[in-house]
Structure 1
Amino acid sequence: MRNAVLMMGIACLMGCGTSMKLAVPDAFKQQATMQHVDGARGNKMSFANISTSEITRGVHVSYPGWGGRAFFLQNLILNKYGIQKNETVEKEKARFRYTITDGKNTLEVYANEKQVTKKLEYQLIKETGYFSSFEQLQHYQYIFSAIIGTGNMPGRNNWELMMTNIYDREAEHDPNPFAYAKQEDNGLATNGRDTIYINPLSIRKTELSNGKTGKLPFKLLSGYELSNSDGVVAIVDMIDRNVWFYNELEPMEKLNISAIATAMFARKVHDAKW
């Protein structure tokens, strides 16, 4: 429901001449090079001297509304007032794999996505229409994991990528009846020696067609910042489908980051839908 509202809002803003862009900090932009990812969110990607194979996808499975509690005793009382209470559990999962190369070295990417959403639904028994029911989010869990294999390259360890987004009403003691699952997920990638931290970037301000700056009524996921102990090494722009690489990266470091970035673009369960 909220995703539909967000998409309607985006469409309205675009129709009104609003240009939404990820704001790359000037300090990093001066030390980085932007590469546009051709085929992002498709089945094959390429940019500069880097390209992926065709992405092989497993079955994308969705189980809408299965496995919720019935609330028999509560509904004996609620039904007298024309209300029915139910719990829905939605599950979705997908997997994919591909290789990525810079012409000299090749990495293998094996990725999995899993998402679980639990909601309470209150339905007016004798009413139909848009306002005849109310959903309340109880639990949301999204996990994205990937193995980035280095094959037989000597002295190279596999990288493990993990990104999560978790909300639990009970654990957080959240009294807000209108809580929702946010788009932003966080994570990291590590090979046991080095670690890359992945943090979401969101936009609230937009550039209008007249050159002025407008403010959105909500934040929108626009990309991800990748950093290590030395600072920011890359920025993934989900809106314009670009990757900004720090200029001092070694070729193998750039290939590793490219594997992480393309894996994020290749997701189907958690898709920013720009």
Structure 2
Amino acid sequence: MELTEVIEKRRSIRKFSDKPVSRGILTELIREAALAPTASNLQAWRFFVADDPELVRDIDSFSPGLSGKPPVIIAIASDLAEAERRGSKNSLVYGLMMDAAMAAENLMLKATELGLGTCAIKSYNDKAVHKLLKLPDTMRLEILISVGWPAAEPREPKRKAMEDVLFWNTWEEPEASEEAAEKPEAGKEAVRTDNGKSAARAAAAFASENTQAQQFNKKELQDLLIYMITSAAGLPGEPHMYGPLRLIESSRRLAGMLGDAYGGAVFEELTALIDAGKGKNMTDPEGFCEMLQDAAAKATELL
């Protein structure tokens, strides 16, 4: 596969198959990542490859940005002690992060060439992942990358026109693009919030009316609780679009648990609807909002 084809084919994958990824392939990915440019040849990045299913699940629980149940999670960290010994203040503040980003791009492009899917995220609870990976205080987490075999081909995201991003020599005010993003309609955010609340109320009402309640899986409930807490903790520093995504993902997980405990076609239809549409949050915001509306309409069948 030619380099241009690899670059154009790479996508952020958010749905993975159960097929495992061999350590031979994972080692190849790290080898290519370690060939990325590094300031002053510092090479202070360290690659932690989580392929133990229990560890992957635990890291996933504390990483709201991860989705699709990846079989492997790669954490790129920086060795601050080595950087301090050999580098400078600028290396600690800027250089290490740039090095990690370039290594991550190498890794993701090589994964694409091999037919793998990846998604890089910064939305994770830093202290929790540090503890799970048993990292010393001298290691700074820079980025997490989910790795696995794609279960579906995502749609191509819209990109800005060249005249909006390319400038020759000096700045010139770009002309307005026809594909410029429109502001959200008044009241749309309120509708999203109401949808989430109505779905939660409907699920709670259904559970309270069921006289033969079964016991929920404690681990799944804990995972949902952790996901909601870490989502709330991460949202202040994230783009606003992530709020509806975190809420609908929490709703999807709750719907799945309710379906397992009580049965019912509505829960299955809700989870399928959300799974099919939540990935549009990045590539098709209008389609994502339409899915939220459809999910709220479907939840009325629980009343």
What TM-score, normalized to structure 2? Answer: 0.22
User: Higher strand proportion, which one?
Assistant: 1
What TM-score, normalized to structure 1? Answer: 0.23
User: Higher helix proportion, which one?
Assistant: 2
